[in-house]
Structure 1
Amino acid sequence: MFNFQNFDEVFFFDSDACYDAALCDTIIANRKQLEGLLIDNVLKDGGIKRPAKYYPPKNNADMRALHKAIIESTFPDQAKVSVLYYILLHFDASTGGRVISTAFEESAFLPKKYQITMKGLLHFDQREFKEALEYLTHPSITPEYTEHTLENLVKYGVECSRTDGREDFTLALTYYHSLQPVLKTLSAVEHLFSAIARTSVTEAFYFCRGQPEHTQRHSFEMLISVVLQNSTPETIADRGIELINLPFSKEEESWFEEYLLRGGGHGLRKAKDIVILRRIATGKFEESLEVKTANTRTVNGLNWNTLANGVEYGLGPRLDTNTMSTLADAAVAEATNTNNDDHQTSVQDGDNKFQKAISAWRTIDLTSLIPSLDNTASEIVQYQRDSTVQRKDLAQKTKDFRKLDDAGKLAEVKGLLKAYQTFIDLLTNHSKSTNSAFLQVYSSLSEAPDPYPLLEASVDSLLLSEDTLPKVTQENEHLQKSVSKLTSQLEETEARLETERSARRTLEEGLETKVKEVETSWAAVLEEKKDNWEAKEKLLEDKVETQDRLLTEIKASYEVTQRLGQADGDENGAGRGHVTSAELEMVNSDLERTSVRLAEVEARNEQLLVELAQTASQVPSQPALNLEDDPGYMRLRSENSSLLRKVDAARVEKDARKRELDGKMRALERETALLKDERDALKSKVQKWSDYEDIKQELEVLKSIEFSTGDDDELDVPESAANVTDGKVENGSSGRPKGDTLEQLLLARNKKLSDELTILRVSHQDLQNRLQAMQEELSKTNGELERAQHLNATLENDLANVQQETANAYPSGASVAGTYVSRYPQSSANVMGGRKGRISPTSSIISGFDPRSASLGTTSLEALRSGEPVGGGSGILPMITAQRDRFKKRNAQLENELSETHRTVSSLRQEIASLQKDNLNLYEKTRYVSTYNRGAPTASSASSYASNPNPSTVQMSSSTSSGLALDRYRSAYESNISPFAAFRGRESARAYKRMSLPERVVFSITRMVLATRSSRNLFAGYCVALHVLVFFSLYYTMTGTATAAAGPLAAKVAGEASKAGKDTDWHQEGFSGKGS
Structure 2
Amino acid sequence: MMFNFQNFDEVFFFDSDACYDAALCDTIVANRKQLEGLLIDNVLKDGGIKRPAKYYPPKNNADMRALHKAIIESTFPDQAKVSVLYYILLHFDASTGGRVISTAFEESAFLPKKYQITMKGLLHFDQREFKEALEYLTHPSIIPEYTEHTLENLVKYGVECSRTEGKEDLTLALTYYHSLQPVLKTLSAVEHLFSAIARTSVTEAFYFCRGQPEHMQRHSFEMLISVVLQNSTPETIADRGIELINLPFSKEEESWFEEYLLRGGGHGLRKAKDIVILRHIATGKFEESLEVKTANTRTVNGLNWNTLANGVEYGLGPRLDTNTMSTLADAAVAEATNTNNDDHQTSIQDGDNKFQKAISAWRTIDLTSLIPSLDNTASEIVQYQRDSTVQRKDLAQKTKDFRKLDDAGKLAEVKGLLKAYQTFIDLLTNHSKSTNSAFLQVYSSLSEAPDPYPLLEASVDSLLLSEDTLPKVTQENEHLQKSVSKLTSQLEETEARLETERSARRTLEEGLDTKVKEVETSWAAVLEEKKDNWEAKEKLLEDKVETQDRLLTEIKASYEVTQRLGQADGDENDAGRGHVTSAELEMVNSDLERTSVRLAEVEARNEQLLVELAQSASQVPSQPALNLEDDPGYMRLRSENSSLLRKVDAARVEKDARKRELDSKMRALERETALLKDERDALKSKVQKWSDYEDIKQELEVLKSIEFSTGDDDELDLPESAANVTDGKVENGSSGRPKGDTLEQLLLARNKKLSDELTILRVSHQDLQNRLQAMQEELSKTNGELERAQHLNATLENDLANVQQETANAYPSGVSVAGTYVSRYPQSSANVIGGRKGRISPTSSIISGFDPRSASLGTTSLEALRSGEPVGGGSGILPMITAQRDRFKKRNVQLENELSETHRTVSSLRQEIASLQKDNLNLYEKTRYVSTYNRGAPTASSASSYASNPNPSTVQMSSSTSSGLALDRYRSAYESNISPFAAFRGRESARAYKRMSLPERVVFSITRMVLATRSSRNLFAGYCVALHVLVFFSLYYTMTGTATAAAGPLAAKVAGEASKAGKDTDWHQEGFSGKGS
- Cα distance in 1, alignment partners of residues 483 and 288 from structure 2: 72
Tell me if the contact between 1:228 and 1:269 (Cα under 8 Å) persists in the aligned partners: yes
Instruction: After TM superposition, give the deviation of residue 310 of structure 1 in Å.
Output: 1.1
Flag the 1:1040–1:428 CA change in 2: closer, same or farther, 3 A: farther
Instruction: After TM superposition, give the deviation of residue 854 of structure 1 in Å.
Output: 153
Flag the 1:504–1:406 CA change in 2: closer, same or farther, 3 A: same
Q: Which has the higher contact order (CA 8 A, sep 6+)?
A: 2
Flag the 1:831–1:760 CA change in 2: closer, same or farther, 3 A: same
Aligned to 2:399: 398
- Cα distance in 1, alignment partners of residues 630 and 290 from structure 2: 79
Flag the 1:4–1:653 CA change in 2: closer, same or farther, 3 A: same
Tell me if the contact between 1:800 and 1:861 (Cα under 8 Å) persists in the aligned partners: no
Instruction: After TM superposition, give the deviation of residue 299 of structure 1 in Å.
Output: 1.3
| TM-score, scaled relative to structure 1 | 0.31
- Cα distance in 2, alignment partners of residues 286 and 556 from structure 1: 28
Tell me which moved more, 340-349 or 730-739: 730-739
Tell me which moved more, 580-589 or 304-313: 580-589
Tell me if the contact between 1:81 and 1:110 (Cα under 8 Å) persists in the aligned partners: yes
Tell me which moved more, 354-363 or 727-736: 727-736
Aligned to 1:613: 614
Instruction: After TM superposition, give the deviation of residue 932 of structure 1 in Å.
Output: 115
Instruction: After TM superposition, give the deviation of residue 128 of structure 1 in Å.
Output: 0.1
Tell me which moved more, 215-224 or 671-680: 671-680
SS at match of 1:48: coil
Instruction: After TM superposition, give the deviation of residue 149 of structure 1 in Å.
Output: 0.2
Tell me if the contact between 1:949 and 1:989 (Cα under 8 Å) persists in the aligned partners: no
- Cα distance in 2, alignment partners of residues 238 and 396 from structure 1: 86
Tell me which moved more, 650-659 or 1048-1057: 1048-1057
Flag the 1:389–1:166 CA change in 2: closer, same or farther, 3 A: same
Instruction: After TM superposition, give the deviation of residue 971 of structure 1 in Å.
Output: 119
Aligned to 1:978: 979
Instruction: After TM superposition, give the deviation of residue 318 of structure 1 in Å.
Output: 2.4
Tell me which moved more, 599-608 or 78-87: 599-608
Tell me if the contact between 1:395 and 1:707 (Cα under 8 Å) persists in the aligned partners: no
Flag the 1:494–1:683 CA change in 2: closer, same or farther, 3 A: same
Aligned to 1:696: 697
Instruction: After TM superposition, give the deviation of residue 319 of structure 1 in Å.
Output: 2.3
Q: Does 1:512 find its partner at 2:502?
A: no
Tell me which moved more, 243-252 or 549-558: 549-558
- Cα distance in 1, alignment partners of residues 43 and 964 from structure 2: 77
- Cα distance in 1, alignment partners of residues 922 and 495 from structure 2: 126
Flag the 1:738–1:664 CA change in 2: closer, same or farther, 3 A: closer
- Cα distance in 1, alignment partners of residues 575 and 554 from structure 2: 19
Tell me if the contact between 1:712 and 1:981 (Cα under 8 Å) persists in the aligned partners: no
Q: Deviations over 1:147-203 (max 9, x none)?
A: 000000000001101111111100000000000000000000000000000000000
Tell me which moved more, 422-431 or 958-967: 958-967
Tell me which moved more, 308-317 or 170-179: 308-317
Q: Percent identity?
A: 99
Q: Deviations over 1:70-116 (max 9, x none)?
A: 00000000000000000000000011100000000000000000000
SS at match of 1:1061: coil
Tell me which moved more, 604-613 or 859-868: 859-868
| TM-score, scaled relative to structure 2 | 0.31
Flag the 1:665–1:94 CA change in 2: closer, same or farther, 3 A: farther
Q: Does 1:707 find its partner at 2:708?
A: yes
- Cα distance in 2, alignment partners of residues 264 and 238 from structure 1: 23
Q: How many equivalent residue pairs? A: 1076
Tell me which moved more, 545-554 or 263-272: 545-554
Instruction: After TM superposition, give the deviation of residue 426 of structure 1 in Å.
Output: 88
Flag the 1:1055–1:664 CA change in 2: closer, same or farther, 3 A: closer
Tell me if the contact between 1:2 and 1:9 (Cα under 8 Å) persists in the aligned partners: yes
Tell me which moved more, 294-303 or 574-583: 574-583
SS at match of 2:837: coil
Q: Deviations over 1:432-486 (max 9, x none)?
A: 9999999999999999999999999999999999999999999999999999999
Flag the 1:896–1:1009 CA change in 2: closer, same or farther, 3 A: closer
Tell me which moved more, 872-881 or 69-78: 872-881
Tell me if the contact between 1:27 and 1:56 (Cα under 8 Å) persists in the aligned partners: yes
Tell me which moved more, 53-62 or 968-977: 968-977
Instruction: After TM superposition, give the deviation of residue 117 of structure 1 in Å.
Output: 0.2
Instruction: After TM superposition, give the deviation of residue 306 of structure 1 in Å.
Output: 1.3
Q: Deviations over 1:382-410 (max 9, x none)?
A: 99999999999999999999999999999
SS at match of 2:612: helix
* Structure 1 segments (4+ residues) deviating >3 Å: 320-1076
- Cα distance in 2, alignment partners of residues 152 and 957 from structure 1: 96
Tell me if the contact between 1:544 and 1:594 (Cα under 8 Å) persists in the aligned partners: no
Tell me if the contact between 1:932 and 1:1012 (Cα under 8 Å) persists in the aligned partners: no
Tell me which moved more, 981-990 or 625-634: 981-990
- Cα distance in 1, alignment partners of residues 406 and 293 from structure 2: 92
Q: Does 1:823 find its partner at 2:810?
A: no
Aligned to 1:17: 18
Tell me which moved more, 1044-1053 or 429-438: 1044-1053
Q: Deviations over 1:571-599 (max 9, x none)?
A: 99999999999999999999999999999
Instruction: After TM superposition, give the deviation of residue 245 of structure 1 in Å.
Output: 0.2
Tell me if the contact between 1:949 and 1:990 (Cα under 8 Å) persists in the aligned partners: no
Tell me if the contact between 1:85 and 1:104 (Cα under 8 Å) persists in the aligned partners: yes
Instruction: After TM superposition, give the deviation of residue 233 of structure 1 in Å.
Output: 0.6
Describe how 1:670-819 pairs up with structure 2 within 5 A.
none
Flag the 1:534–1:406 CA change in 2: closer, same or farther, 3 A: closer
Tell me if the contact between 2:913 and 2:955 (Cα under 8 Å) persists in the aligned partners: no
Flag the 1:670–1:253 CA change in 2: closer, same or farther, 3 A: closer
Unaligned runs of at least 5 residues, structure 1: none
Tell me if the contact between 2:942 and 2:980 (Cα under 8 Å) persists in the aligned partners: no
SS at match of 1:540: helix
Flag the 1:600–1:46 CA change in 2: closer, same or farther, 3 A: farther
Flag the 1:396–1:209 CA change in 2: closer, same or farther, 3 A: closer
Flag the 1:960–1:179 CA change in 2: closer, same or farther, 3 A: closer
Aligned to 1:1013: 1014
Instruction: After TM superposition, give the deviation of residue 39 of structure 1 in Å.
Output: 0.2
Tell me if the contact between 2:206 and 2:224 (Cα under 8 Å) persists in the aligned partners: yes
- Cα distance in 2, alignment partners of residues 596 and 360 from structure 1: 59
Instruction: After TM superposition, give the deviation of residue 843 of structure 1 in Å.
Output: 144
Instruction: After TM superposition, give the deviation of residue 301 of structure 1 in Å.
Output: 2.0
Tell me if the contact between 2:388 and 2:424 (Cα under 8 Å) persists in the aligned partners: yes
Instruction: After TM superposition, give the deviation of residue 772 of structure 1 in Å.
Output: 119
Instruction: After TM superposition, give the deviation of residue 302 of structure 1 in Å.
Output: 1.4
- Cα distance in 1, alignment partners of residues 74 and 854 from structure 2: 94
Q: Does 1:1072 find its partner at 2:1073?
A: yes
Flag the 1:154–1:523 CA change in 2: closer, same or farther, 3 A: closer
Tell me which moved more, 162-171 or 628-637: 628-637
Q: Deviations over 1:745-768 (max 9, x none)?
A: 999999999999999999999999
Q: Deviations over 1:910-944 (max 9, x none)?
A: 99999999999999999999999999999999999
CA RMSD of aligned residues (A): 36.1
Tell me which moved more, 561-570 or 429-438: 561-570
Tell me if the contact between 1:172 and 1:195 (Cα under 8 Å) persists in the aligned partners: yes
Tell me if the contact between 2:31 and 2:38 (Cα under 8 Å) persists in the aligned partners: yes
Instruction: After TM superposition, give the deviation of residue 300 of structure 1 in Å.
Output: 2.0
Tell me if the contact between 1:939 and 1:1008 (Cα under 8 Å) persists in the aligned partners: no
Q: Deviations over 1:258-286 (max 9, x none)?
A: 00000000000000000000000000000
- Cα distance in 2, alignment partners of residues 1056 and 104 from structure 1: 59
Tell me if the contact between 1:409 and 1:979 (Cα under 8 Å) persists in the aligned partners: no
Flag the 1:802–1:241 CA change in 2: closer, same or farther, 3 A: same
Flag the 1:562–1:928 CA change in 2: closer, same or farther, 3 A: same
Tell me if the contact between 2:810 and 2:834 (Cα under 8 Å) persists in the aligned partners: no
SS at match of 1:833: helix
Q: Deviations over 1:965-987 (max 9, x none)?
A: 99999999999999999999999
Tell me if the contact between 1:830 and 1:837 (Cα under 8 Å) persists in the aligned partners: no
Instruction: After TM superposition, give the deviation of residue 289 of structure 1 in Å.
Output: 0.2
Aligned to 1:374: 375
- Cα distance in 1, alignment partners of residues 327 and 570 from structure 2: 102
Tell me if the contact between 1:85 and 1:118 (Cα under 8 Å) persists in the aligned partners: yes
Tell me which moved more, 286-295 or 614-623: 614-623
Describe how 1:279-318 pairs up with structure 2 within 5 A.
279-318=280-319
SS at match of 1:716: coil
Tell me if the contact between 2:152 and 2:193 (Cα under 8 Å) persists in the aligned partners: yes
Q: Deviations over 1:637-680 (max 9, x none)?
A: 99999999999999999999999999999999999999999999
Tell me which moved more, 982-991 or 15-24: 982-991
Flag the 1:430–1:918 CA change in 2: closer, same or farther, 3 A: farther
Flag the 1:575–1:275 CA change in 2: closer, same or farther, 3 A: closer
Instruction: After TM superposition, give the deviation of residue 317 of structure 1 in Å.
Output: 1.0
Tell me if the contact between 1:810 and 1:822 (Cα under 8 Å) persists in the aligned partners: no
Tell me which moved more, 826-835 or 706-715: 826-835
Flag the 1:1011–1:479 CA change in 2: closer, same or farther, 3 A: closer
Instruction: After TM superposition, give the deviation of residue 1035 of structure 1 in Å.
Output: 129
